[in-house]
Structure 1
Amino acid sequence: MRTKLDAVSIVAVLVTVAAFSATAPLTAYASGSVFVLALGRNALGLITLGPVVLLIRRREFIKVFRGERFLVRREQRRAVLLGSLAGTALATHFATFMSSTRMTSVAMATALVATQPVWQALIATMLGGRLPRATRAGLAISVAGAVIASGMDLGAGSKAVLGDLLALAGAVALAGYTALSEQARPDVSTSVYSVLCSFICTVELLILCLVSGTPMFALTGNTLIALLGLLILPQLLGLFSLNFALGRAPATAVSVMLLLEAPVAAIVAWLWLGQTPDGSTWPGLFMIMLGVVVVVVADVRRADPVTENLGDGWVTTMSPQHALSVVNDIPARGDIYASLWRHAHAGRFAEVEAEIRRLENQSIRVHGAKSCEAAQWIEVRAIVARIAGDHSLSAQLWSAAARFHSSAPCLDAHCGYRLNYSYQEWRSASGEGGTIDNAPTPVF
């Protein structure tokens, strides 16, 4: 996992920005209903990729709905429930944001929906987290910018103000989707989760069209062009290039670069649709973007410390930038790994799985889904599965870790050996012996 943006990653992010920036201008260009456009882009994307994913990942689909994977029985049914709620949040995002582009300027709608990281931070706070001072500062800057920019829309009438509110609602819905996905993603693969959310989103948008009496097949020429553009650009090309970039570059750097979507969308709307925001609006838009950058950077800094959340026995430590990168650097008994072993031996597997998921999400957010820091939690799960007596699952997890290291070698290719040794040392120190009975030997 690279710690800096290389040339290939920069190109991938710029492609993502260009593709996502087309959403608002294409929606504003089309004369058809925004509900039909939202339904069409999701339905066509589902029809295009759904069958391929179902064919390739059919075994996982069966296991997901039977709840056969990971340590906690039926844990993946929780992921299905959260994924369904996330699909609802995604449908809400499309309906509100795409509607806002018809009521306010493309620049304003895109800038306001880009405040999603701010709402994400507030959601984390409501769930028990603490809001750092830098995050509060970023929030204040963004709110002030939104007030300044939206105040200029008062002169354009109540419709423009309603558009601003819908764009903010789209940002909140997107933050809800992200928060739900963060909890569900460790239990299912990216492709399966994407199909699940897309299916729920498509069904709910279809219901919305039917309930609102929206004609779904009276499509004009410009609506068909916009629909095709929404499918090819943000739905397929944008998501593919974004996932590619997140596999190579730090998520924080990618998130900050994605803020270019707002000015790029404004430029496209100016050149194509002739939309030129009032000059007094630009300071507010700039403040919104500045505040979001502050929040994103503060969030990744907050993600570095690993704090306790399971009561007595969980200790405060620092998440290593390169986990266990020295062969003889064995974690002390008071570190997070020893805490995991101790609680697993006490039979608290639900709490252990929740803590592993939290730490894994943190590693994914900071270092990326394909980083060694994220992959080490597969190996941690393998040891916990051995403690739980599930030898088959433990072997499968070790094999999954081996496949990762063979396909994506990293700085810490022998992390599994060290985690295994860390566990043996803990057992020896706790008087339980220094070996894991019948433990498979990981091959990297």
Structure 2
Amino acid sequence: MSRIEQSHESLTLPPARDAGLLAIALAGVSASGPIMAATAAPALAIAFWRNALGAGSTGLFVGLRHRAEFAALDRRGWAVASLAGVFLALHFGTWVPSIKLTSVASATALVATQSVFTGLIAAAAGRRLPRIAWLGMVLAIIGTALIAGADFGISARALAGDGLALLGGIFAAAYVTAGASARREMSTSAYTTICYSVCALGLLVVCLAARQPLSGYSGKAWLLILAVTVSAQLLGHSLFNVVLRSVSATFVSLTILIEVPGAALIAGLWLDQWPPLSAIPGLVLLLAGLIVVVRARQPGAEPVPDLD
């Protein structure tokens, strides 16, 4: 994963080539939740291997190419980038287990509330938000409550999954905030190398402390772990970053929200995991609220990160 860069804010349609890349990226990120739900391995182990493989595939190349920049970084730069990595580990350490407890549709929708929590953090820091953004947050909160109510009627396990997905959204928002601060003094490559390495190390420590097996899986499980790494990062968010040369960050952020119904559709067709009818009004209202929040963003606002 790499952080999506800010671009101009127009919502004009992308060129045909970039529209195709966006479609591939959307298919990649939409498949990540269902793939992890189908993987017969502990959730925390899936989170670790996905990040370790992703960081390892680019970390060595970036480390050799940017040795001078790493050497020039001060303590604050290392500390803030490492803090972002801790928040990223907490994000994956809560969201991936949530997929195993509740439906893919609920988990994907609820973790997308990171946009709401990012706005709330910005407001707490003194940034003035447009009124329409607050309206979107209210809609999203109501939708969240409806989803939680529907899942409570199913089982306490599903409700616990909803809670973990919400925590994943909160930690994602903290990751965005810390990452924005770190990026003011370092390149994307240096930042992501430090952040993702800390994230993988943190998840490794948690897996070892919780005695989660990190090996001994079936061949199919390893293929699915590799598949989620490729689909979410190489075919997903890497391509989102590519199209930002011609597409606004707001357009990409709105496009990413299609992951919510996309993941639900894939989970339904592949895993026969359809959201209960009672949860659909909440899912629709939450998605509508998130669209309003993202659409209300102003030039200079922090972009949506690529996480899931």
* TM-score under structure 2 length normalisation: 0.91
Residue identity in the other structure for 2:30: S
Deviation at 1:284, TM superposition (A): 0.8
Contact 1:16 1:241 in 2 (8 A): yes
- Aligned residue in 2 for 1:155: 153
Deviation at 1:12, TM superposition (A): 2.5
Q: After superposition, what is the alpha-carbon deviation per residue over 1:401-444, rounded to whole angstroms, capped at 9, x for unaligned?
A: xxxxxxxxxxxxxxxxxxxxxxxxxxxxxxxxxxxxxxxxxxxx
User: Pick from 53, 60, 63: which aligns with 1:44?
Assistant: 53
Q: Is the 8 A contact 1:103 1:163 kept in 2?
A: yes
* 1:242 aligned partner: 240
Instruction: Provide the rounded CA distance (Å) in 2 between the counterparts of 1:274 and 1:364.
Output: 36
- 1:5 shift after superposition: 3.2
Report the residue type matching 1:5 in the other structure: L
Equivalent residue for 2:257? 259
CA distance in structure 2 between the aligned counterparts of 1:284 and 1:364, rounded to whole angstroms: 26
Q: Distance in 2 between matches of 1:108 and 1:363?
A: 27
Which of residues 200, 218, 221 is equivalent to 2:219? 221
Q: Paired residue for 1:138? A: 136
CA distance, structure 2, for counterparts of residue 20 and residue 93 of structure 1:
16
CA distance in 2, matches of 1:136, 1:235: 31
Match of 1:282 among 271, 280, 283: 280
> Which secondary structure state, in structure 2, belongs to the residue aligned with residue 169 of structure 1?
helix
Aligned mates of 1:365, 1:103 — CA distance in 2: 29
CA contact (8 A) 1:5 1:250 kept: no
Name the SS of the counterpart of 1:228 in structure 2: helix
Which residue is 2:67 aligned to? 58
Aligned-residue sequence identity (percent) comes to 38
Q: Which has the larger radius of gyration?
A: 1
Is contact 2:51–2:196 with CA below 8 Å preserved after alignment? Answer: yes
For 2:59 and 2:151, the matched residues in 1 are separated by 41
Displacement of 1:196 in angstroms is 0.6
Q: Give 1:22's aligned residue.
A: 31
| 1:217-273 per-position Cα deviation (integer Å, ceiling 9, x unaligned) | 121233212211112111222221021122321111110110000111011101110
Distance 1:290 1:363, change over 3 A: closer
Q: CA deviation at 1:114?
A: 1.1
How far apart are the structure 2 equivalents of 1:195 and 1:237? 19
CA deviation profile, 1:115-161 (whole Å, cap 9, x unmatched): 11111000001112234321211111001111112211112110000
User: Aligned to 1:32, which of 8, 27, 41?
Assistant: 41
Cα 1:365–1:90, aligned 2, differ >3 Å: closer, same or farther? closer
- 5+ unaligned residues in a row in structure 1: which ranges? 68-76, 304-361, 367-444
Q: 1:210 aligns with which of 191, 208, 211?
A: 208
Name the Cα RMSD after superposition.
Answer: 1.7
Does the 8 A contact of 2:88 with 2:172 survive in 1?
Answer: yes
- Who is 2:172 aligned against? 174
The corresponding residue for 1:269 is: 267
On the 8 A contact 2:253/2:303 being kept in 1, the answer is no
The DSSP-based 3-state class of the residue aligned with 2:277 is: coil
Residue identity matched to 1:9: D
Give, in whole Å, the separation in 1 of the partners of 2:245 and 2:36: 30
> Structure 1, residues 294-349: CA drift from partner, whole Å, max 9, x if none?
1112222xx4xxxxxxxxxxxxxxxxxxxxxxxxxxxxxxxxxxxxxxxxxxxxxx
Q: Contact conserved, 1:256 with 1:293, CA < 8 A, in 2?
A: yes
Separation (CA, whole Å) in 2 of partners of 1:159 and 1:212: 20
Matched letter for residue 276 of structure 2 = D
Contact 2:180 2:302 in 1 (8 A): no
For residue 192 of structure 1, what is the aligned residue in structure 2? Answer: 190
Unaligned regions of 5+ residues in structure 2, if any? 1-6
Distance 2:154 2:115 in 1: 28
Q: Give the Cα–Cα distance (whole angstroms) in 2 for the partners of residues 55 and 201 of structure 1.
A: 20
1:213 and 1:115 mapped to 2: Cα distance?
31
Cα distance between partner residues in 2 of 1:275 and 1:256: 25
Q: How has the CA–CA distance of structure 1 residues 278 and 255 changed in structure 2, closer, same or farther, with 3 Å as cutoff?
A: same
**C-alpha displacement of 1:364:** 7.4
Does residue 291 (structure 1) correspond to residue 289 (structure 2)? The answer is: yes
Residue aligning to 2:19: 10
CA displacement 1:70-126 (0-9 Å, x = unmatched): xxxxxxx32221111110111011111110101110011001111111110000011
Paired residues in the alignment total 295
What SS does the aligned partner of 1:218 have? coil
The equivalent residue for 2:114 is 116
